[in-house]
Amino acid sequence: MEAVMANWEDGFRYEDKGLSFFLTGIKNFWKLVGPEQRAMKLGFYWLIVTQLLALAFPYFLKLIFDDLPEVLKSGTISTRLICFIIIMFAVKISAILVTLFVKETIFIKGVIRLEAWWPVLAQSKLLALSLGYHERENTGKKISKIEKGIERMVEICVKLSWDILPQFIYLVANLTCMMILDWRLGLLFFLPFAPAYWINKRYYERMSGDWEKWEKKKEESSGYFTQSLLNIRTVQDFVQERREKERLQTVRECMRDLDTDINMTERYYIMGIRIVLNVFFLATIALGVYFVLMGQTKVGTVVFIITTGNVTIEGLGEIFNNYSKILRNLVSVNRLTEIMNDDTEITNSSTAFVPTTTIGDIRFDKISFNYPGKDQAVLEFFDLQIAPRQMIALVGRSGEGKTTVAKLLCRVYDVNHGRITLDGIDIRQLDRDWYRRLFAIVQQDVDVFDATLLENITYACRDATPAQVDEAIRAAHIHTMMEKQDRFPDGLATQVGERGIRLSGGERQRVGIARAYIALLNGAKFLVLDEATSSLDSETELAIQSMLNSIRKKLDVSIVAIAHRLSTIRKADMIYVIDGGQVAESGSHEKLLAQNGLYSRLVELQKLGDLRK
């Protein structure tokens, strides 16, 4: 993925945008068509039938014209001629009906099914991708890639099945017919097709960079748009509305200029190609008439060329025009494929298993970890143990890697070196989902969904019983916050707004604690608290701390508490002080104080105010 992104950054390369780019793009597209491949193939076979029927009409017209001199001479209409006329009409009607059947029944239905399926496919892929990917890409860009990709895939489906493939089949069949009927006329008619292809190729080479630039600008603009709305509070607090507007405007203006340039250039190229093709078409007709007069070809052949020639030129224009659009659309499809091919998922190994019993002894065994794309390791030769039913605390200055330890513990990332074990088994050998369900986490910034309080609390276990919900809201002191009737008029059914915007920081933390509590009641074995009570008032924090201590015994869970506040840390059985990517000190509160090292310095600072300083 990194490599692919780097290529995009490098800019475009002309040679990549020719036929090979088209074929790779179509291959990517075909993979994404997935379950509809069979229907699409069937549609393609039917397209051949429709195009042959479309050519059969002028062919019978040719036969009729070939017979006309005889008819004029004899003055009687032969049965053969009547048969030709009847067949010609039958062919025309069948062509209309079959085309309708292919387009309406096979392709449209297939595209509608794909339109419903692609977003689900994209979402499940995005949800499976590692946190690393999500931390790298901003939400607006991701959404733009997916939406644009899907929109463009639909366009490709429609253009391929409506315009490009039928016209292409017609063109090949017509070339064959003309060469058989009179190779000299056929050759003259098709002679300019090669230079037309070359002109078209030049056009793609010129434009592909602009298309790619346009796509990137589109993602950028989408990113700015979303970011400004996601961070609306900060934008307004710091009166940055104008700056946000100007940022978006600059990108959109660049897109506008690119758009104008692309469209104008396209018109010139298409016009040039059409003029060349039509000149040769007229020359073919003139030569055909001359051959007829010389008795070297039949009049029907010229009629056939006149009837099919126009359609072929229009069709070729259609192919060139749509080919360029498809190329442009393929840029989006390739971007969607990048996401689909991203392999940064934390996946199960082929031998992953669920152990029959769990004691709950976790060890970090000389692990090292650096975030993807970063050279500097956050943790190096880092050791840690979480014994069953123990409460450990992670302490350290901001940015030392406490949250990173929690992420590695829950296997959101895999370590680069060393290993983390559960009861002696490397966690990479355990079933990923089973392992993750062992953890009830309250994150530093609690994720809150735009849903009701109850839906947020029961997010981890939707079938939590009312008794469990009641226990959880008491444990997290949500009941005290709900006692303010006017703040939560609908009780647990109150909508909390996007990202819990209608909740205070402390209220969001309580939601997080209640959510984790329900997970504990439903089988989680480790409670991970990442600054989980930092926004609570001291009274509520103390009440929650003592509640957490009591569930440790009652539910047989271990607790990993990351905190700056002394009140949380001192109760831990084991305190690990992280410094410089390693455990600098470890032991009980008393033991560490007695050591008079980093911990005692941090404690002194905290007594003065804040451990973070």
Ligand X SMILES: Nc1ncnc2c1ncn2[C@@H]1O[C@H](COP(=O)(O)OP(=O)(O)OP(=O)(O)O)[C@@H](O)[C@H]1O
Q: CA–CA separation, 187 vs 87, rounded Å?
A: 29
192 binds, among Mg ion, ligand X, none (CB under 5 to 8 A by kind): none
Give the count of beta carbons closer than 10 Å to the beta carbon of residue 224.
21
Q: How far is the CB of 579 from ligand X (least distance, A)?
A: 10
Q: CA–CA separation, 274 vs 317, rounded Å?
A: 7
CB distance 12 to 207 below 8 Å: no
Query: Interacting stretch for Mg ion, rule CB under 5 A, among 98-106, 149-157, 399-407, 497-505?
Result: 399-407
- Asked whether position 278 contacts Mg ion by CB under 5 A, the answer is no
- Asked whether position 444 contacts ligand X by CB under 6 A, the answer is yes
Which CB atom, from 226 or from 444, has the smaller least distance to Mg ion?
444
The pair of structure tokens assigned to 36 is 């509809």
Q: How far is the CB of 227 from ligand X (least distance, A)?
A: 17
Residue number of the CB closest to Mg ion reads 403
Q: CA–CA separation, 577 vs 575, rounded Å?
A: 6
Characterize 433-446 residue by residue with b for buried, 16 or more Cβ atoms within 10 angstroms of its Cβ, and e for exposed: eebbbbbbbbbeeb
Q: CA–CA separation, 12 vs 216, rounded Å?
A: 11
Which CB atom, from 348 or from 444, has the smaller least distance to Mg ion?
444
The pair of structure tokens assigned to 266 is 């396209």
Binders in 401-440 for Mg ion, by CB under 5 A: 403
For ligand X, what does the binding mask look like between residues 126 and 165, x meaning CB under 6 A?
Answer: ---------x------------------------------
Which CB atom, from 24 or from 444, has the smaller least distance to ligand X?
444
Q: How far is the CB of 435 from ligand X (least distance, A)?
A: 20
Binding-site size, Mg ion (CB under 5 A) = 2
CB distance 212 to 232 below 8 Å: no
Q: How far is the CB of 139 from ligand X (least distance, A)?
A: 15
Which CB atom, from 278 or from 444, has the smaller least distance to Mg ion?
444
Which CB atom, from 444 or from 522, has the smaller least distance to Mg ion?
444
300 binds, among Mg ion, ligand X, none (CB under 5 to 8 A by kind): none
Q: Which candidate, 201, 205, 160, places its Cα nearest to that of 333?
A: 160
Greatest Cα pair distance in the chain: 125
- Asked whether position 610 contacts ligand X by CB under 6 A, the answer is no
The pair of structure tokens assigned to 439 is 């953890």
Characterize 315-325 residue by residue with b for buried, 16 or more Cβ atoms within 10 angstroms of its Cβ, and e for exposed: bbbbbbbbbbb
374 binds, among Mg ion, ligand X, none (CB under 5 to 8 A by kind): ligand X
Q: CA–CA separation, 58 vs 170, rounded Å?
A: 12
Q: Which candidate, 177, 201, 175, places its Cα nearest to that of 190?
A: 175
Q: How far is the CB of 3 from ligand X (least distance, A)?
A: 18
Q: How far is the CB of 146 from ligand X (least distance, A)?
A: 21
- Asked whether position 253 contacts ligand X by CB under 6 A, the answer is no
Which CB atom, from 107 or from 369, has the smaller least distance to ligand X?
369
Q: Which candidate, 505, 404, 410, places its Cα nearest to that of 460?
A: 410
Q: How far is the CB of 405 from ligand X (least distance, A)?
A: 7
For ligand X, what does the binding mask look like between residues 402 and 431, x meaning CB under 6 A?
Answer: xxx---------------------------
381 binds, among ligand X, Mg ion, none (CB under 5 to 8 A by kind): none
The pair of structure tokens assigned to 132 is 């690393």
Q: Which candidate, 371, 502, 496, 511, places its Cα nearest to that of 445?
A: 511
Residue 203 CB contacts under 8 Å (≥ 6 apart), including other chains = 265, 266, 269, 324
Q: How far is the CB of 413 from ligand X (least distance, A)?
A: 9
Four-residue CA torsion sign, 429, 435, 436, 440:
negative
Q: Say which amino acid occupies 76.
A: T
- Asked whether position 534 contacts ligand X by CB under 6 A, the answer is no
Characterize 85-100 residue by residue with b for buried, 16 or more Cβ atoms within 10 angstroms of its Cβ, and e for exposed: eebbeebbeebeebbe
166 binds, among Mg ion, ligand X, none (CB under 5 to 8 A by kind): none
135 binds, among Mg ion, ligand X, none (CB under 5 to 8 A by kind): ligand X
For ligand X, what does the binding mask look like between residues 383 and 402, x meaning CB under 6 A?
Answer: -------------x-xxxxx
- Asked whether position 489 contacts ligand X by CB under 6 A, the answer is no
Q: How far is the CB of 374 from ligand X (least distance, A)?
A: 5
- Asked whether position 581 contacts ligand X by CB under 6 A, the answer is no
Which CB atom, from 231 or from 444, has the smaller least distance to Mg ion?
444
Binders in 511-530 for ligand X, by CB under 6 A: none
- Asked whether position 250 contacts Mg ion by CB under 5 A, the answer is no
Cross-sheet strand order for the sheet of 362-369: 379-386, 362-369, 417-422, 425-426
Kindly list the residues in this chain that would bind ligand X in the complex (CB under 6 A).
135, 371, 374, 378, 396, 398-404, 444
Kindly list the residues in this chain that would bind Mg ion in the complex (CB under 5 A).
403, 444
